[in-house]
């Protein structure tokens, strides 16, 4: 199985990228590729035709106080978390690189769910950019599904991880990457879940 994942420089993406083995050939996309199996976002002609495409790259922001709203930071988060993955996917599709695609999987978060956001206290939320970009990806999933493509489309929440964007007390990124790989290999994501698949618990967070 051939998998292509974006955002491999660190965190969950890097942990997954390093699981390359005889069962799954994993290639990565990064703004600064430094491995023979990694490419920059413009190197479409050299990328493999994946069976699994994982849109993982993301950055975060903090603060939901509108009086302190930072327009430039907001724009940067939307660019990386929402615009870039959709544009990258669209270009791969336009160039015929998705002919063998079976699963498109977007690494979102629990904040990809407007329902989840609604039920949280204000001080439990990350920044405006993060919440809006991640919930925007859920809308993208629902819209894309209406095109009735030949591949499944899902969004997952890998959990709060012990990464730069997570928490020192978070789940081990390597453990969650291995569980994610096993779920891909057993074809769990060939079906489409009606919500965000929560990887640590195998539960579904409603959209």
- Structure confidence at residue 59 (pLDDT): 96
Residue pLDDT, tens place only, 90-121: 999 999 999 999 999 999 999 999 999 999 99
Structure tokens at 105: 């999987």
- Structure confidence at residue 167 (pLDDT): 80
- Rounded to a whole number, what is the largest CA-CA distance in the chain? 52
- CA 38, distance to chain mean position in Å, is 17
Nearest to 5 by CA among 49, 64, 55, 76: 55
Those residues of the chain that have pLDDT short of 70 are: none
- Which class for 103: exposed (0-12), middle (13-18), buried (19 or more C-beta within 10 A)? buried
- CB 59, CB 36: distance < 8 Å: no
The domains of the chain, with CATH numbers, are: 2-205 (3.40.50.720)
- Structure confidence at residue 64 (pLDDT): 86
Give pTM, 2 decimals: 0.96
- CB 196, CB 187: distance < 8 Å: no
């Amino acid at each position: 199985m051939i998998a292509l994942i974006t955002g491999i420089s660190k965190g969950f993406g890097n942990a997954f990228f390093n699981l390359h083995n005889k069962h799954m050939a994993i290639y990565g996309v990064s703004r600064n590729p430094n491995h023979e199996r990694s490419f920059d976002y413009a190197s479409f002609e050299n990328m493999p035709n994946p069976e699994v495409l994982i849109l993982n790259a993301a950055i975060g922001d903090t603060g939901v106080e509108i009086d302190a709203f930072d327009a430039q930071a907001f724009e940067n988060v939307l660019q990386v978390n929402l615009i870039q993955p959709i544009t990258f996917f669209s270009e791969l599709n336009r160039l015929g690189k998705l002919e063998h695609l079976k699963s498109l999987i977007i690494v979102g978060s629990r904040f990809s769910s407007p329902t989840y956001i609604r039920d949280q206290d204000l001080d439990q939320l990350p920044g405006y950019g993060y919440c809006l970009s991640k919930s925007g990806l859920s809308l993208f999933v629902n819209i894309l599904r209406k095109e009735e493509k030949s591949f499944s489309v899902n969004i997952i929440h890998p959990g709060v991880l012990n990464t730069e964007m997570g928490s020192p007390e978070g789940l081990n990124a390597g453990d969650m990457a291995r569980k994610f790989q096993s779920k891909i290999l057993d074809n769990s994501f060939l079906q489409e879940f009606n919500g965000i698949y929560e990887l640590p618990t195998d539960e579904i967070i409603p959209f």
